[in-house]
Structure 1
Amino acid sequence: MNRTRISFLLIVIFLILGVHPKFGHAKLTIDKVIFEGVEVFSNKRLNSMLRIKRIEEYNEHNFRSDLEVIFDLYRQHGYLHIKKVESEDDLTDDGKRHLIVTLNEGEQTRFRDIRIRLLDQDFSTAALDSLTISETLGFQSGDPFNRILINQQRQLLANTYANLGFAYAIVSDSAYFSADQSTADAVILITEGNRVTIKSIKITGNEKVRQKIIDREVRSKPGDVFSLIRIQEDQQRLYSTSLFRDARFVINGFEESLSQVDIDIQVVEEKLKWIGGGVGYGTQDGGRISGEYGHNNIFNNAQKFKIISKLTKTDIINKSDTYRLTRRLETEYVDPRLFGISWTSGLNLAYQYEDDLEKTKEDISYQLETYTIRLATGRPISRYNQLSFQVTARMDSYFDVVDKSDVNNPSDPYEDPIQEGRTVTNSFSASISRDTRNDVFNPTRGYFLFLSAKIGGSILYGDNNFLKLNFDSSSHRRYKWVVFSIRAQGGKAISYGSSYLIEKNDQFTYGGSTTNRGYGELSLGSMNHRGSLSGNALLATTGEIRVSFLTYFQVVFFADYGKLWFTDGEIDRSDQSNFSLRNDPETSDGKLSLGMGFRYLTPVGPLRIDLGLPMEEETWEERWNHKGFFISFGQAF
Structure 2
Amino acid sequence: MKLSYLAAAVSVAMAPAWAASSFVVKDIRVEGVQRTEPGTVFNYLPIKVGDTFTDARAEASIKALFATGFFNDVRIEHEGDVLIVSVAERPVVAELIINGSKEFDKDQLKKALKENGLAESRIFDRALLDLATQELKRQYYSRGKYSVEVNTKVTPLERNRVAITFDINEGAAARIKSIRIVGNRDFEEKELLKEFSLSTGGWLSWFTKDDQYSKPKLSGDLEKLRAFYLNQGYFEFSIDSTQVSISPDKQDMFLTVNITEGAKYTVSDVKLAGDLIVPEPEMRDLLQIKTGDIFTRDKVNGSVSALSERLGQEGYAFANINVAPQLDRDKQQVAFTFFVDPGKRSYVRRINIVGNTRTRDEVIRREMRQVEGGWYDSAKIKRSKERVDLLGYFTDVNVETPPVPDTADQVDVNFSVKEKPTGNVTLGAGYAQNEGLILSAGISQSNFFGSGKAVSASFNTSKLNRYLNLSFTDPYFTIDGVSLGYDIYTRRYTPNNIDRYNYQTDTSGFAVRFGVPITEYDTVNFSLGAEHNKVEVFEDSPIRYRDFVRDFGKSNLTWLARAGWARDTRDSALWPTQGRVMRVNTEFGLPGGDIEYGKFVHAQQWFFPLSKTFTLALSGELSFVQPYGSTEKMPFYQNFFLGGIGSLRGFETGTIGPKDENGDAYGGTRRAVASAELLFPFPGMKDDKTIRASAFVDAGTLWGGEIKTGASDEIRYSAGAALTWLSPIGPMKFSLAYPLRKKEDDKLQRFQFTLGTTF
- Secondary structure of the equivalent of 2:462? strand
Q: Distance in 2 between matches of 1:224 and 1:198?
A: 6
Distance 1:584 1:151, change over 3 A: closer
- Say whether residues 1:197 and 2:347 are aligned partners: yes
Aligned equivalents of 1:339, 1:67: Cα separation in 2: 52
Shift of 1:493: 1.9
| 1:423, distance to aligned residue in structure 2 (A) | 1.8
Q: Which amino acid aligns with 1:211?
A: D
CA contact (8 A) 2:359 2:449 kept: no
User: Does 2:578 match 1:445?
Assistant: yes
CA contact under 8 A between 2:263 and 2:332: conserved in structure 1?
A: no
Q: Which deviations, in whole Å up to 9, do the C-alpha atoms of 1:142-187 show, x marking residues without a partner? A: 7679685555434432332223222222233556789997999865
- CA shift, 1:543, in A, is 3.0
How far apart in 1 are the matches of 2:345 and 2:547?
A: 74
- On the 8 A contact 1:117/1:187 being kept in 2, the answer is no
Q: Give 1:485 shift.
A: 3.1
Instruction: Report the Cα offset of residue 371 of structure 1.
Output: 1.4
- The amino acid across from 2:735 in the alignment is D
Match of 1:116 in 2: 273
Q: CA 1:271–1:496 in 2, change beyond 3 Å: closer, same or farther?
A: same
* Paired position in structure 2 for 1:396: 533
CA distance 1:47–1:232, shift in 2 (3 Å)? same
Please tell me whether the aligned partners of residues 524 and 588 of structure 1 are also in contact (alpha carbons under 8 angstroms): no
Unaligned 5+ segments in structure 2 are 1-176, 195-199, 201-220, 238-260
Cα 1:465–1:289 change in 2 (3 A) is same
Give 1:469's aligned amino acid.
F
Amino acid at match of 1:245: T
Matches within 5 A, 1:168-567: 168-174=318-324, 188-253=338-403, 258-298=408-448, 300-314=450-464, 326-354=465-493, 367-399=504-536, 401-403=537-539, 413-414=543-544, 416-417=546-547, 419=549, 420-458=553-591, 461-480=592-611, 481-526=613-658, 533-548=666-681, 549-550=683-684, 551=686, 552=688, 553-566=691-704
User: Which structure has the larger Rg over C-alpha atoms?
Assistant: 2
Q: Distance in 2 between matches of 1:48 and 1:436?
A: 38
Amino acid at match of 2:703: W
Report how far residue 422 of structure 1 moved: 1.9
* 1:11 aligned residue: none
Shift of 1:538: 1.2
Cα offset, 1:246, TM superposition: 3.5
Q: Is residue 234–residue 262 contact of structure 2 (8 Å, CA) maintained in 1?
A: no
Distance in 2 between the 1:205 and 1:68 partners? Answer: 38
Q: Matches of 2:559 and 2:620 in 1, distance apart?
A: 29
Give the 3 Å change call, closer, same or farther, for CA 470–196 of structure 1 in structure 2: same
Asked if the contact 2:443/2:457 (under 8 Å) is kept, the reply is: yes
Pair 1:593 & 2:724 matched: no
* Alignment deviations for residues 602-623 of structure 1 (CA, whole Å, 9 cap, x no partner): 589863211334456799xx99
Amino acid aligned to 1:422: S
Which deviations, in whole Å up to 9, do the C-alpha atoms of 1:293-345 show, x marking residues without a partner? Answer: 1122336531101101122213xxxxxxxxxxx43211111111113331233
- Aligned equivalents of 1:374, 1:68: Cα separation in 2: 54
Q: What does residue range 75-86 of structure 1 map to in structure 2 within 5 Å?
A: none
SS in 2 for 1:313: coil
Residue 161 of structure 1 corresponds to: 311
The sequence identity of aligned pairs, in percent, is 18
Give the CA deviation at 1:536. Answer: 0.3
Q: For residue 493 of structure 1, what is the amino acid of its counterpart?
A: V
Asked if 2 retains the 8 angstrom alpha-carbon contact of 1:525 and 1:534, the reply is yes
How many residue pairs get aligned? The number is 517
Whether the 8 Å contact between 2:566 and 2:584 is mirrored in structure 1 is yes
Partner Cα distance (1:601, 1:356) in 2: 29
Residue identity opposite 1:267 in structure 2: V
SS of 1:226's equivalent?
Answer: coil
Change (3 A) 1:413 1:151: closer
What one-letter code is carried by the residue in structure 2 that aligns with 1:292? Answer: G
Greater mean deviation of Cα atoms: 589-598 or 286-295: 589-598
Cα pair 2:649 2:750 within 8 Å, conserved: yes
Residue number in structure 2 paired with 1:14: none
**What is the CA–CA distance in structure 2 between the aligned matches of 1:629 and 1:611, rounded to whole Å?**
5
Mapped to 2, the partners of 1:431 and 1:467 lie a distance apart of: 13
- Aligned-partner Cα distance in 1 for 2:367–2:227: 47
528 and 352 in structure 1: CA distance in 2 versus 1, 3 angstrom threshold: farther
Please give the alpha-carbon distance, in whole angstroms, between the structure 2 residues aligned to 1:297 and 1:69: 45
Shift of 1:595: 3.2
Task: Tell me how far 1:383 sits from its aligned partner.
Answer: 4.5
Q: 1:252 to 1:486 in 2, by over 3 A?
A: closer
Distance 1:52 1:249 in 2: 37
How far 1:67 moved relative to its partner? 11
Which residues of structure 1 form unaligned runs of 5+? 1-21, 36-45, 82-101, 315-325, 406-411, 571-580
Partner of 2:375, secondary structure, is coil
Change (3 A) 1:629 1:345: farther
Alpha-carbon contact 2:656-2:665 (below 8 Å) kept: no
Q: CA deviation at 1:137?
A: 4.5
Mapped contact 1:283–1:513 kept (Cα < 8 A)? no
Distance in 1 separating the partners of 2:723 and 2:284: 49
What pairs with 1:129-144 in structure 2 (closer than 5 Å)?
129-137=279-287
Contact 2:716 2:742 in 1 (8 A): no
Aligned to 1:575: none
RMSD: 4.8
Q: Is the 8 A contact 2:429 2:438 kept in 1?
A: yes
Q: Alpha carbons of 1:288 and 1:129: their partners in 2 closer, same or farther (altered >3 Å)?
A: closer
* Partners of 2:647 and 2:344 in 1: CA distance: 57
- Structure 2 vs 1, CA of residues 532 and 299 (structure 1 numbering), >3 Å: closer, same or farther? farther
Instruction: Note the alpha carbon deviations across 1:549-583, whole angstroms, 9 max, x for none.
Output: 122454433333322122xxx5xxxxxxxxxx336
**Which of 723, 727, 734 lines up with 1:609 in the alignment?**
734
Using the alignment, how far apart are the partners of 1:50 and 1:257 within structure 2? 53
Is the partner of 1:235 in helix, strand or coil?
helix
User: Structure 1: how far apart are the matches of 2:193 and 2:358?
Assistant: 59
Q: Shift of residue 215 of structure 1?
A: 2.5
- With structure 1 as the length reference, what TM-score do the two structures score? 0.67
**Which letter maps to 1:351?**
T
**Is 1:49–1:70's contact at 8 Å kept on the other side of the alignment?**
no
Q: In 2, distance between residues paired with 1:104 and 1:355?
A: 69
